[in-house]
Structure formats: structure tokens, C-alpha cells
Chain A
Amino acid sequence: MTDQIVMPRLSDSMEEGVILNWLKEDGDQVEVGDELVEIETDKASMVYESDLAGVLEILVPAGETRPIGEPIATVSKDGAHPAGNAAPVEPATSEPATTGEPEAAAVAKTAPPPPPASAEEAERIRISPLAARLAREKGVDPAGIEGSGPNGRIVKADVDRALSAAAPPVPTEPVPVPREGEPAKGEVTRVELDRTQQTIARRMAESKATVPHFYLQATVDMTRAVEVREAFKEAPEADGPVPSLNDMVVKAAALALRHHPRANSSYRDGALELFSRINIGIAVASNDALIVPVISDADHLELREIATESRRLSERVRTGEVTPPELSGGTFTITNLGMYGVRSFDAVIHGGQAAILAVGEVSDRALVRDGEVVPAMLMDLSLACDHRVLYGADAAEFLAEIRANLEEPGLLA
């Protein structure tokens, strides 16, 4: 009895996965729950555990990519290695083996595994022959090129575009000639991007190029929010970690999103998709990558719960343990650079969302209140919006509600 293991769907946006490492060897006896294979998706890499027991036959070697649902291994229960087993192992949907040629079938089964696929095959990049030749001869990595042909196929024009984008601007004045053997920029070290970084690069460029961004700024008086946080510090430890100011921003935004469903939506194929759940992504920097774990149903969580969840997720990102489910389903994103002393900045909208909130530092500044200059803890917010979804006034009302929630933090706690 032989069962197939197929490429699992590890995140909702996953279309294919790369076999990074087999953690068991071909022919090993595996048990349910054994760590079987490490798979890299568009968002993260994760270990997939076997839900079958038996003898493992690896169908797809490490380094290769398969779409979800494609067989990557088989597990046979009778203990015999399937390669040495004459029993048919084809999935039920395939043609039954020809009974007249048992020898041929057996030979086929015991044939040596196919030679390792070439790099081109392993990557499975859709590219026209002409574009492939152009990329190869110009030294462009097609993996980094967005294809404009059918099903994202890379055509010559895409490579040309990538080349002209990469080409240095034509100098208008004579430039000093570098000494022989020394390029003008000094030695160049080429750093290959890993799959996650490539995905980030592609999605950022895609979002900024295709989503019409506009930005609204507002300054929030965080004086009372800071006081609330101090009050949490005084409270007993048992209730969990002390919420950070960013956790308050998460809660403030989550509550405001309830009243502004368009900010919790996505533009897709000429229509809006409004989401019923409010799942807030928090951008976390880690290992040269930008990972956005998601606090699901943030509008239903107590501030302490948000704090607990955000600490947990940030930690898992830092240790690389975060799993695709923890990264998926975001409907709105918050990014905070305040801890670096950044006063204010504009962010790039996360694909499939309508807006992103960029949070600056909370600092002591002078505020004019009732005609008098008073000290206050101020924070700048910048809301980047997809103009196909949100218009100026809607977005302004949404941002104003976030601000009001933070300035009257009693509602948040």
C-alpha cells in the first residue's frame, strides 16, 4: 500500500514550493509526525511533518520546485522499498499498468533516478527562448524579472526593460577615468538575494508600480497613551507583557477599521473585496528580510492580548520559526520605525491590501494647546492609501479615527 505525499499548501498565496532539504533519506522508515522535508514558499521556509508512516521514496530532489498538489514523495506501508516492489505505485488516476509487460514495468521502476535537473529546469521559469538567450548573454538573472507575457512568461521586452533599468545613466559630462583595473565604484561584491528577498523585491516593485499611492500625515498627541502605558507597568505581571505604544496603534487602527471597511479591503480586477476579519500585519525586520506576521482579529483582542501576540510573533520571526499561517491573511499593515528615531516616513502598501500605516517616534515636543505652548508626547503617522480604493476624505476620516482612539486611550485599554 503506497500513498503519495504532495507539495502541501503552506500559505494562502502559495503557488509552488522549493524542496530545500530532505530531512529523511530515500528508503528511510518514517513515522507520523517525523520531520520530513524543509519547504520554502514565497513567504517563509518551514518543516513539513509526515502524516504517513512507512518507507519513504523521494520523487523530487532538493533544490527543485513543484506546484502545490504535485507528488514529491511516496510512503509505502508494507515496509518494502517501493523501488524494489513490483506492485504498481501509480496514483489511482493513471492508466493501469500493462499486464503483458511486467518485466518492462519492473525495469522502469528500478531504473536509476533521473539525472539532477539543470538549473534552468529546477527554477521552472517561464521565459521565451529569445528572452532566455538575451538574459544569459547579458548576465541577467531571469528569476528577478517580472514577465509580461501569457501567465507571466518573460519575453524579450521584459529582459530589455530589466537591462535598461539596470543600465547606468548616460553621463552628461566627462567622468574621471578610473585608474586601469579599478572600476569607478571600486570593487563590486555581488550579493545574491535569497528567495524571500527576491519575493520582497518583486512585490515591492509591483506594488509601487501598479498601486496608485497617496499619503496622509497626522500628528497624534500621545501624552495620555504614554500615561496609560505607565499604568499598565504598575499593574500586576500576571496579565501578560506591558503593551507597547505600537500595540496601542494596532488596537487603535483595528477599531477604526471596523468603521472604515474600505480601508480593510483589496482592489481586485476592477472591484473591491471587503474583508470581514480585521487582521493586522506588523512589519518586523529580520535577517535582511522584511517579514510581516499577522495579528488576527485584532479588533476583538484586549490590548494585553495584542501585546502578547505581537511579542510572540516578533520572537518567532527573529528565530526563523514563524510559519506561513502566521504570515497570511493580513488585511491591513502597520510599520513602525520610531525605535530608530525616525520622525515620519511613507511606506509601500502590502499587496492585496488598501493601506499601510507608517508610525514614527514618540517624542517630547512643544504643542500649542489653548493658545499656550505646552510640552507633549507627539507621534507622526503617515497613512499610505491605494487611490483606487480610498479617496482623500474617506482616508482622512479613517486616519482621524485612529488619532482620536490614541488620544482618548481609555477606549483601547
Chain B
Amino acid sequence: MADDEFDLIVVGGGPGGYVAAIRAAQLGLKTAVVERDKVGGRCLNYACIPAKTMLHTAEVLDEAKNGAHLGVKTEGVELDWKALSDRRAEVSAGLESGIGMLFKKNGITVIEGEASLTPEGDVEVDGKTYRAGKVILATGSVAMPIPGTEFSDRVVDTWGGWSLPEQPAKIAVAGAGASGAEIASAYIRFGTDVILVEMLDHVLPTDDPDVARVVERTFKKQGVEISTGTPVEDVKPGKDSVSLKYGDSTAEVDYLVVAGGRRPDIDPLGLEAAGIELDESGKVKVGPDQLTSNGKVYAVGDLTPGPALAHKAMEEGIVAAEAAAGQPVHPVDMDLIPSGTFCHPQVASVGLTEAEAKEQGLEPKTAKFKLGGVGAGSVYEDRDGIVKLVVDPEYGEIVGAQVVGNRACDMIPELVAVMALEGGYQELARMTHPHPTISEAVLDAARAVDGWATHA
């Protein structure tokens, strides 16, 4: 095979793309990845990973400042913005080079530049055409500004929010979804004043209200000014600040961070010429094997319908790579993609909320169990969180689960596993959980469905 010819060319080296490339190489395909910026993509360089690095420091700082009752007395604790920014960059750089090593180990060629598709479905990068047996598109998504505003020095997207040059005294965050809640949660603990504005009626608007309420209460206790049911309007950026209006209030802040919607990053690809169809929402139409309407081009991740989450992209990348290699297809189960918000306390969920289950015509039974009920909740000061299960009472199928608590994102995989393996709440209620851990709350939540939680 010639140097410019590959079994598979993956466009985009983010979570969907790099995972797809590695899987394809494992299956023996001669594979290349086209990346115009950094491998690891936005998740690793500009979103998930930097965000969690910042949030981790917020947690350490908060514990250091407020640990007197734990027996940790500190004085003169302060945030070193430069050290934090350096570490944020180091963590991403380390992971980025890790992916480079994985590429090398698997014999994957990296082509630097911006790709577009030829009408034949081959890949053109900087005027050079690479012939591809199969193509996987994994170019991710870009942030959208709120209507009537443009991004600028003072009006920034979430990456702008995580990479501010100095610690701001006051910020406003437009959008209290996962990204907005994380930024608010980090900055309030850094000591910045935070206004969190949400157009819908509660923070984390797509999450269960019982769960969102716990987060909202904590945010208020920490001093976040929350405004719900109000859009951000009249955004006027100045030289050193930006003014805005929300509801009846106005504010002038150092930065406005817009954590709104995202749209597929497909403009340079030339999808139409390659015969690739989009759905009404502008996402790429794919089958269960991630194949687009062009028979040799697959698409994964934020380009395709479903939540814009790195782990969703990764699993779709596996499916697309296996399909491209002619392997049997194990489609991603869209009903079992967990979501995690890493604010304090964390929120994680999988499947349907109670409201969604009702919308689908189910008559769900729910059970809530407070983390304070189990011993570990007190030990780790995690008493306010809850585990909520949504079950279809007919056969006990768990159709959804939500967890809010300090370790919620590490608790949700258990529920994904039980649901994926079709265990009912009855089975979960009889599985031994280690003591003392917060996970015992999951056990008692399962028991609570039939009213026999031990610690309630």
C-alpha cells in the first residue's frame, strides 16, 4: 500500500477519533489520524480534563480553608493562579503525549492539518489527497454564543472560562447545565464572586429536580448568586469588564462565561459533496454501525445524534472502527450513556429521570435514599446527597438512576452495569456492598423501592 493510502483515515484526534484509530489498528487496519490542532481533542486539551484539573484544586483549596473542624488548622492558605494554570497545562500535555505514544505503539500515522472529504470519500489535507478504504469523521463540536452576543476578550466560552489569565474578582456564567455548573462551582471556591444565570427553571435543567435542588442549595450556601428562568440579555463588553442584564437585575463583571449549546464542527469537511446527509438538528445521520449515508464514511461523537459527551464518542469510535474492519457490530446503547457533572457535589445519572419515564408512558416507581443514612456519608461529610432510582414496577427493570454526592460520578458505573446486564432493583437489593462506603446508599435505595431500606 502506498504511503498516501490507508485502510482507514480518522478525521479528528479527540476521544472519538483516537479511540477509533487505536481499535482499528488493533484489528490490523493501516490507520491514519488527521488532526489540525492537538491529539486528544477538545476534551483532553480544552474541556473535560482541564476542567477537572481546576475543580480538583478548588476541592483541595476548600478543604484546606475549611478543615478546622476536621482537625486541620491552616493559616495563610491562598490560591496560586500561575501554579494552577501551569498544572492544568501540564496535565493536558502529559495526556496528549500519552496518546501520541499509543499512536506510535499501534503504528498509527498522524497527518497534521485540516481535512476535507473529496466526492469519492477520500481525504484531502492541505491540498494533498490521501486515499482511504474507510473514513471515520470525529471532528467534535464547537461552542455557540448566546443569541445577540459574540465571543470576545470579555465574553468567553467554557475553555476561555477555564483559561483566564488571572483570577477574576467577579464572573457571570450564562447557562447552568453541566459546564456552567462546574465553572460556577470551581470559581466560587477559588474566592471569585459568581452569578449563575439559567434560562430554564432550575440549575442543571436536564437533571432530575430532586437532584438539582441539592446542588442549588449547596451553591447558595457557598455564595453563588443564582438566577433561574431568566435569559442573559444586553451583553455589553467593555475594555476591562462586561455588563449584562438578567431578569430585573444588571451586573458588571470581569468576564461573562457562556456555557450554552454546541454544534457539530463540520464546516470544513465538505459533507454535501461527499453525499453525507444531516438530520433536522444539523447532526450527521448514522445507522447503528455509525455509517453515514456515504457507504464508506462513518461518523462518531458530537457530530451524531445523542449527548455531546466524550465517553459516548469513545464507544461510538469503537463501534465505527469495528464496523470499518468488517467485524460484527455491537451498537452503543443510547439509553445507557451515563452523564456526570463534576461540580460540588457531583451529579451523575443514567437512563430516564422520573419525568422522562412518565413522558414515555411508564408508571414508574421511584426510591430516594439520602447518603447521610449510611455511615460513610457522615465520615466523608457527604450527608446531603441522594441516590434516586426510577424503576418500572412491572418486572422491576431499573429504567433510570440519579446520584448527587461528592463521589456521584464514581458511583454511577455500578448502576450502568446493573442496567446493562438487566438486573432488576430486586437483584441490586441483594448484592453485598462494601462497608463503610457511600455505595451502600445504592443498596438501600434499591431496598427502598419496596420500602425496606435498612438505614431509613
Q: Chain A residues in contact with chain B, CB under 8 A?
A: 128-131, 133-134, 137, 155-156, 270
Question: Bound state CA distance, A133 and B326, in angstroms?
Answer: 36
Contact present for A128 and B395 (CB under 8 Å): no
Question: A129, A134, A156, A270 — which one has the most chain B CB atoms within 10 A of its CB?
Answer: A129
Segment of B14-22, B291-299, B409-417, B422-430 engaged in the interface with chain A: B422-430
Interface size on B (CB < 8 Å)?
Answer: 10
Q: Hey, which chain B residues are within 8 Å of A137, CB to CB?
A: 395
Total A-B residue pairs with C-beta atoms closer than 8 Å?
26
Contact A130 B326 (CB under 8 A): no
A130 contacts which chain B residues (CB < 8 A)? 395-397, 422-424
The answer to whether A155 touches B326 (Cβ under 8 A) is no
Cβ of B77 within 8 Å of any chain A Cβ, yes or no, is no
- A130, A133, A137, A270 — which one has the most chain B CB atoms within 10 A of its CB? A130
- Bitwise, B385-409 to A at CB < 8 A (1) or not (0) is 0000000000111000000000000
Contact of A156 among B326, B422, B426 (CB under 8 A): B422
B421 within 8 A of A: yes
Q: Which 7 A-B pairs have the closest CB atoms?
A: A128-B422, A130-B422, A129-B427, A133-B395, A129-B423, A134-B395, A130-B424
Identify 26 residue pairs between A and B in the complex whose beta-carbon atoms are under 8 Å apart, listed by A's number.
A128-B421, A128-B422, A128-B423, A129-B422, A129-B423, A129-B424, A129-B426, A129-B427, A130-B395, A130-B396, A130-B397, A130-B422, A130-B423, A130-B424, A131-B422, A133-B395, A133-B396, A133-B424, A133-B426, A134-B395, A137-B395, A155-B422, A156-B395, A156-B397, A156-B422, A270-B326
Which residues of chain B come closer than 8 Å to A131, judged between CB atoms?
422
Which residues of A lie under 8 Å from residue B423 when comparing CB positions? Answer: 128-130
- Bound state CA distance, A14 and B312, in angstroms? 40
Question: Could you say which residues of chain B place their CB within 8 Å of the CB of A133?
Answer: 395-396, 424, 426
Extra pairs beyond A131-B422, A134-B395 (11, CB < 8 Å): A129-B422, A129-B423, A129-B426, A130-B395, A130-B397, A130-B422, A130-B424, A133-B424, A155-B422, A156-B397, A156-B422
Distance (whole angstroms) from the CB of A135 to the closest CB of chain B = 10
CB neighbours (8 Å) of B426 from chain A are 129, 133
- Alpha-carbon distance between A128 and B427 when the two chains are bound, in angstroms: 11
- Chain A nearest CB: distance from B149 CB in Å? 46
Secondary structure of the B contact surface, majority rule: loop
Closest residue of B by beta carbon distance from A127: B422
| Chain A positions within 8 Å of B396 at CB level | 130, 133
Bound: A123/B423 CA distance, A: 20
Q: Per-residue CB proximity of B424-447 to A under 8 Å, as 1/0?
A: 101100000000000000000000
In the complex, per-residue mask of B200-224: 1 if CB is within 8 Å of any chain A CB, else 0: 0000000000000000000000000
Could you tell me the distance in whole angstroms from the C-beta of A140 to the nearest C-beta in chain B?
A: 13
B interface, CB within 8 angstroms of A: 326, 395-397, 421-424, 426-427
A269 to chain B, nearest CB (A): 9
**Could you tell me the distance in whole angstroms from the C-beta of B254 to the nearest C-beta in chain A?**
53
In the bound complex, CA of A95 to CA of B421 (Å): 33
What CA separation (Å) do A81 and B422 show in the bound complex? Answer: 45
Within 8 Å CB of A128, what residues of B?
421-423
List, in ascending order, chain A residues with CB within 8 A of B326's CB.
Answer: 270
Bound Cα distance A270, B328 (Å): 10
A134 to B427, CA, bound (A): 14
How many Å lie between the Cα of A137 and that of B426 in the bound state? 15
Bound CA span A394–B421, Å? 46
Chain A residues in 8 Å Cβ range of B424: 129-130, 133
> Distance (Å) between the CB of B424 and the closest chain A CB?
5
Q: Which residue of B lies closest to A150 (CB)?
A: B330
Instruction: Identify the closest chain B residue to A155 (Cβ).
Output: B422
**Bound form: Cα–Cα A134–B422 in Å:** 11
- Cα–Cα distance between A131 and B424 once the two chains are bound (Å): 10
CB distance from B52 to the nearest CB of A (A): 32
Beta-carbon nearest neighbor of A154 in chain B: B422
**Across the interface, which residues of B come within 8 angstroms of A156, CB to CB?**
395, 397, 422
B326 to chain A, nearest CB (A): 6
Taken together as a complex, chains A and B put the C-alpha atoms of A130 and B397 apart, in Å, by: 7
Q: What's the least CB distance linking B111 to chain A, in Å?
A: 30
Q: CA–CA, A155 to B419, complex, Å?
A: 11
Q: Measured between alpha carbons, how far is A204 from B372 in the docked complex, in Å?
A: 57
Residues of A within 8 A of B421 (CB): 128
Q: Which residues of B sit under 8 angstroms from A134, Cβ to Cβ?
A: 395
Residues from chain B with Cβ under 8 Å of A270 in the complex = 326
CA distance A133 to B396 in the complex (A): 9
Give A137 to B395 CA distance when docked, in angstroms.
9
Interchain nearest-CB distance for A142 vs B (Å):
13
Bound Cα distance from A131 to B427, whole angstroms: 13
In whole angstroms, how far apart are the Cα atoms of A156 and B397 in the complex?
10
Smallest distance from the beta carbon of B440 to chain A beta carbons, Å?
Answer: 21
Complexed CA–CA distance, A189 and B326 (Å): 47
Closest to A137 in B: B395
Minimal beta-carbon separation of B86 from chain A (angstroms): 45
Q: Which residue of B lies closest to A133 (CB)?
A: B395
Chain A residue nearest to B330 (CB atoms) is A150
Q: Give chain A nearest CB distance to B43 CB in angstroms.
A: 29
CB distance from A205 to the nearest CB of B (A): 20
What CA separation (Å) do A155 and B422 show in the bound complex?
7
> In whole Å, how far is A376's beta carbon from the nearest beta carbon of chain B?
50
Interchain CA distance A129-B423 in the complex, whole Å: 5
Nearest-neighbour CB distance to chain B for A132, whole angstroms, equals 9
Alpha-carbon distance between A124 and B17 when the two chains are bound, in angstroms: 41
In the complex, the chain A residue whose C-beta lies closest to that of B397 is A130
Chain A residues whose CB sits within 8 angstroms of the CB of B395 once the complex forms: 130, 133-134, 137, 156
B427 to chain A: which residues have CB within 8 Å? Answer: 129
When chains A and B are docked, how far (Å) is the Cα of A86 from the Cα of B25?
55
Rounded to whole angstroms, the CA-CA distance of A133 and B425 in the bound complex is: 12
CB distance from A183 to the nearest CB of B (A): 26
> CB-nearest residue of chain B relative to A156?
B422
A370 to B252, CA, bound (A): 104
In whole angstroms, how far apart are the Cα atoms of A134 and B326 in the complex?
35
Whole-angstrom CA separation of A270 from B325 in the bound complex: 12
What is the CB-to-nearest-CB distance from A127 to chain B, in angstroms, rounded to a whole number?
A: 9
A129 to B397, CA, bound (A): 9
Distance in angstroms between the alpha carbons of A129 and B420 in the assembled complex: 11
Bound CA–CA A133/B424 (angstroms): 9
CA distance A128 to B426 in the complex (A): 13
Residue of A nearest to B328 (CB): A269
Q: How far is the CA of A133 from the CA of B395 in the complex (A)?
A: 7
CA distance A133 to B421 in the complex (A): 14
CB proximity of A24 to chain B, nearest CB, Å: 40
Once the chains are docked, how many angstroms separate the CA of A402 from the CA of B422?
A: 52
**Could you tell me the distance between the alpha carbons of A156 and B399 in the complex, rounded to whole angstroms?**
13
Cα(A155)–Cα(B421), bound, Å: 8
Docked CA distance A39–B52 (Å): 60
CA distance A155 to B396 in the complex (A): 14
